[in-house]
Chains A and B, each alone.
Chain A
Amino acid sequence: MPATQAPPVLQLTGISKRFNGIHALNGVNITIRAGECMALVGENGAGKSTLVKTLTGIYRPDAGTLSLDGKPVTFASPQEAMAAGITAVHQETVMFDELSVAENIYVGRQPVRGGRIDWAQIEREAEALFARLEVALPVKARVKDLSVAQRHFVEIARALAQDARVVIMDEPTAALSQREIRELYRIIDQLKAAGTAVIFISHKFDEIFAVADCYTVLRDGQFVAEGRLADITEQALVALMVGRAVHQAYPKLDADIGAPLLVVQNLSHPTEFDDVSFTLRRGEILGFYGLVGAGRSEVMQALFGLTPGVSGCVTLDGRPVTARSPSEAIGLGIAYVPEDRQHHGAHLTMPIQHNITLPILSRIGFFLSGRGKQEATIARHFAEQLELKASHLTQHVAELSGGNQQKVVLGKWLATDPKVIILDEPTKGIDIGSKAAVHRFIGQLVARGLSVILVSSELPEVLGMADRIVVMHHGRVQREFLRGEATPESVVAAASGLITEAA
């Protein structure tokens, strides 16, 4: 990298943003230079996403100044940020399912000629963009028919189409295979060569070191450090990010692993997954690892009876079973704790104790009046087990922190007294303290003889907690690892589709 520094394109000075009195960003200073790729590094909750939304005009900062080419600017809307040349490839793809690929790229700013949108031009330019990206995508296809990875390319094409000065990529590689990631690197180099500044957000250090020139570290919404990647080691960067020496202890208790409990054979679905087979033993933690969109959650939802049109054979305790609905699955002793707490997991406007007893109301009794004490006892039992931090059990779940909300959801499913508990990303977006409590708790579950399927995108969590790891890629089981033989490299390689069982 040349030592001479390009002029700054975008400068952030003292940017602060509060939500409900809590600082999501606190006095952040960042400088972004033309033709450079800056890695924005920080743990979940460090304020990266808030920063992205501030830069793209979705949030307005409470304090501080943004300056573009040395002139202070404010963005009242995403449109203004875009007009100024700041675009983002968001973590959750911004896509319009029913519109065509080409229209998705130009949505909101279609070229108009003679009072009509020029569709021929849109399609021509979209094709040119994909040719430049060296990606083959049918521009007339509807986006709802695309895979997750293909959607990311549509988003990148959209950023390119805007001749952006600054392109923000918020975990763009989460759903991509190794080959697709290499394509992305090439695209980033193209952007840099054209003088565009790139802000690259990733949790994967090998990627950061491969693609970025400099770094900025955020922790708890505050600026921690910045520098050039050539001058720092991976360990030092991790230490800056976490703020303490890294050693994550996973309280995996040695549990006696028993006979096979849940045997899944050749589970298939027309579009979501194909020929999925695995065995879960009593007292075992079976990790499910894969990239976002690999089909892990979809398999679990099928086991829980949420997906029609599934073929294959599932046996529980030696008996063939088919759960056609969640209530049948609960009756069979299967519990599914979904990924999206806010929407699928908890009833946010209901009190803690009613959340916990919701799936087992029929066991408490038909008429619930006069059963309040019994409900409270059950709720208190699980609240204590999970170290739930709440002022009282009639508090609404919405008032709890993310970690404590997750504990309520876990308590709810434990109350159903399951044999198999499926946890889908149980520690996503919760603080480190709560994470450890959830991990401890998973350890206790298997020690008591329950079997756990742990779906997680966090590699250390899967490696640290699971007895065996099933790795999925593009809807298929790519490989299965025993605890001893799994290394971070081999698991990630399998998740990217590089290693197959046969190889």
Chain B
Amino acid sequence: MTDEPKFALAPFFGEGRREFIEHIPHVKRLGMEVLYVGPYTARIKLPFREELIGDPVRRVVFGGVITTLLDHASGLAVSASLPEFRAIATLDLRIDYLRAAVPDRDLIGESVCYKVTHHVAFIRASAWDDSPDDPFATCHASFMLGANPGENAIARAIRKSVEEPS
């Protein structure tokens, strides 16, 4: 008999949850949308906006914006891997920019947490504008678990959503 893995975030698994955005000021400001959260994984959409452009001639979104998209998807994927909520913190994150993102297209970022140890979670992620088979960026990241004694920020955002429904 094998034990089914239990996830603290399980009640919130599924498509289009607003709880993960509404009480996190910066991702709300960027207009991000959570498309899907499930065991070990999260997929987020960042709608194209002129103010996110980094290269005005080519109208390409600034690379660092992709960092925010994938860091956030990764934090969510790590939280979606834990049996109980713990505070997490990005330890390091490396992005390869494979090509320019196409202007005026929504950016999709997906993170998968492929290994969780006692203290660290490991992530691979990618971002695309058309097809997941043709990403414009790939990413590896690691997260500290129990980085500080505080509450998991995702857990707090969910709690706030319950307390103050929008």
Partners in one complex: no
**Interface, chain B (partner A; CB < 8 A):** none
